[in-house]
Amino acid sequence: MEFIKGKGQVKAEIIINGTKKFEEYGFNGKDGEVLVLAEKKRIYVGIEKINAENIKTATASIIKSLKKYKFESVEITPPNTKKEEILISFFEGFMLGDYEFDKYKNEKAKHPVKKIAINSKREYADLIIEAKIRANTINFVRDVINSVPDEITPPKLAAIAEDVAKENKLECKIYDENYLYENGYHAFYAVGKASSNPPRLIHLTYKPKNPKRKIVLIGKGLCYDSGGLSLKPADYMVTMKSDKSGAVTVLGIIKAVSELKLDIEVHAILGAAENMIGGNAYKPDDVLKAKNSKTIEVRNTDAEGRLVLADCLCYADEEIKEYDEIYDFATLTGACVVGLGEYTAGVMGFNKEKIENIIKNAQLAGEHFAYLPFNKYLPKLLKSNIADICNIASSRYGGALTAGVFLSEFVKNKDKWTHLDIAGPAFVEKEWGFNPYGASGFGVDTFINYLKSL
């Protein structure tokens, strides 16, 4: 897809809250409405008001709606605004809307619209470059998450990370199961041990010359989560290829950051493993020792993400000297999806300012994060009679929060840490907004905004 100046075959217009109507066609210009007048070579999309989410959704739906036609170019005037996030969203939406995951289909998706003709005298070249980097990254993240577990094993995810590192001149270290075992990352090791596809800890670094800040991003990379011996019911196991979303998201973020040449040092740590069953599987009743020497009573092998992340958080404290901030991205709990719904991620931590910053930058990206506050009663729910902590809470309520509290036990400086539970929006089995069926690439745009704002 290419952005050009001048005329296109079809004219597109974004209508704000019914300022233009075509009552004869039942089009009132309300949010989400689309009208294609193919003979007149016009397309109209309604939005309620101008913001990043609505604009991204509008341009995405222009591309989606034109798929059944043969028009090769669309002409459109960008919104009359100086706000960068709106304009970037405007350009990005076309490319996000053009995404379809057809890798395993014999009949491939159609991409008739090749050119977006920008009808304006203004110069948008820099914004278009940035929008392309963002959208290509998000579509890459979607592709990897959507790919099946038989293909994306932990070693394969490591190979994909190596390719990203090579293309973008990033440092890339890959550690295998022996390293994890020999160096005391036994919580992470235990989760992966029943699989014939061994775990990998992947550490990428982007180091510009004079970085303003040093930021660590950790991602849960469960290439498959069967639940382990605490096996998931059949219906809940489907879609668990998406349990690697956190890891793939942080891979996407470091890729985009390096392509945008931001002045921030970024470390991406991907904890890749498969949670499977077998004669050598870790068990409910096992006690595992994480790298920071804390012992964990396993009472449910399906609460595996926190075990992998616990050791990844320890790895960051051991191996990355004096970082400023640390974030973890994880499809961690079903409870977070129950509480906030499929379209909103949970954000937890002790540093209210950082949390507010994430929520603000998410709004500018058209993504939704909600703050879930910890309190002093929660840690008690993780008490174990035989170890330092238990991997599940004694209460059935507040599962997203107790998972977050568990993670906090493995971070040295709690004020630097923020936890993002993306279990809802990372993968949704229907189209929504500017997102397709399946993986969304959620979190990438929010974080690029945030890192750019530093």
Closest distance between ligand BES and the C-beta of residue 30, in Å?
Answer: 32
Q: Which stretch binds ligand BES (CB under 6 A): 40-48, 181-189, 301-309, 351-359?
A: 301-309
- Using CB under 6 A as the binding rule, whether residue 303 contacts ligand BES is answered as yes
Q: Which stretch binds Zn ion (CB under 5 A): 26-34, 123-131, 221-229, 373-381?
A: 221-229
- Using CB under 6 A as the binding rule, whether residue 333 contacts ligand BES is answered as yes
Distance, CA of 446 to CA of 277 (rounded, Å): 36
Radius of gyration of the chain, Cα coordinates, nearest whole angstrom? 23
Catalytic, out of 83, 173, 213, 232: 232
Residues in 390-429 at the binding interface with ligand BES, rule: CB under 6 A: 392, 399, 423
- Using CB under 6 A as the binding rule, whether residue 297 contacts ligand BES is answered as no
Closest CA to 244 of 343, 145, 142, 177: 145
Between 78 and 228, name the residue whose CB sits nearer to Zn ion: 228
Distance, CA of 345 to CA of 339 (rounded, Å): 10
Q: Which stretch binds ligand BES (CB under 6 A): 132-140, 157-165, 298-306, 443-451?
A: 298-306
Closest distance between ligand BES and the C-beta of residue 139, in Å?
Answer: 21
Kindly give the pairing relationship between strand 417-421 and strand 344-349.
antiparallel
- Using CB under 5 A as the binding rule, whether residue 225 contacts Zn ion is answered as yes
Between 265 and 302, name the residue whose CB sits nearer to ligand BES: 302
- Using CB under 6 A as the binding rule, whether residue 337 contacts ligand BES is answered as yes
Burial 265-281 (b: 16+ CB within 10 A, else e): bbbbbbbbbbbbeeeeb
Closest CA to 195 of 296, 309, 304: 304
**213 is an active site residue:** no
User: What sign does the CA torsion over 391, 396, 399, 405 have?
Assistant: negative
Q: Which positions from 210 to 249 touch ligand BES by CB under 6 A, shown as an x/- string?
A: ---------------x-----------------x------
Between 75 and 225, name the residue whose CB sits nearer to ligand BES: 225
In this chain, which of 53, 85, 177, 243 binds Zn ion, going by CB under 5 A?
243
Q: Which stretch binds ligand BES (CB under 6 A): 317-325, 326-334, 362-370, 380-388?
A: 326-334
In this chain, which of 65, 300, 357, 363 binds ligand BES, going by CB under 6 A?
300
Closest distance between ligand BES and the C-beta of residue 430, in Å?
Answer: 14
Out of ligand BES, Zn ion, none, which partner does residue 399 contact, by CB within 5 to 8 A per kind?
Answer: ligand BES
**232 is an active site residue:** yes
Strands lying side by side in the sheet with 34-37 = 2-5, 115-118, 73-76, 10-16, 42-47, 34-37
Q: At 383, which amino acid appears?
A: K
- Using CB under 6 A as the binding rule, whether residue 305 contacts ligand BES is answered as yes
| Residue 290 φ then ψ, to 5° | -80, 170
User: What sign does the CA torsion over 174, 246, 258, 99 have?
Assistant: positive
- Using CB under 5 A as the binding rule, whether residue 302 contacts Zn ion is answered as yes
CA 329 to chain centre: 7
User: What sign does the CA torsion over 346, 349, 354, 356 have?
Assistant: positive
Between 174 and 194, name the residue whose CB sits nearer to ligand BES: 194
As a whole number of angstroms, the longest Cα–Cα distance in the chain is 74
Closest CA to 90 of 46, 50, 35, 34: 50
Please provide the DSSP assignment of 113-156 as one string: --EEEE--SS--HHHHHHHHHHHHHHHHHHHHHHS-TTTS-HHH
Residue nearest to ligand BES (CB): 334
- Using CB under 6 A as the binding rule, whether residue 160 contacts ligand BES is answered as no
Cβ-in-10-Å burial (0-12, 13-18, 19+) of 318 comes to middle
- Using CB under 5 A as the binding rule, whether residue 328 contacts Zn ion is answered as no
Q: Which residues partner with 251 through β-bridges? A: none
Catalytic, out of 56, 291, 306, 354: 306
Q: Which residues partner with 347 through β-bridges? A: 371, 420
Cβ-in-10-Å burial (0-12, 13-18, 19+) of 260 comes to middle
Q: How many residues bind Zn ion (CB under 5 A)?
A: 6
Known catalytic residues are 232, 306
List residues binding ligand BES (CB under 6 A).
225, 243, 300, 302-305, 331-335, 337, 392, 399, 423
Residues that bind Zn ion (CB under 5 A): 222, 225, 243, 302, 304-305
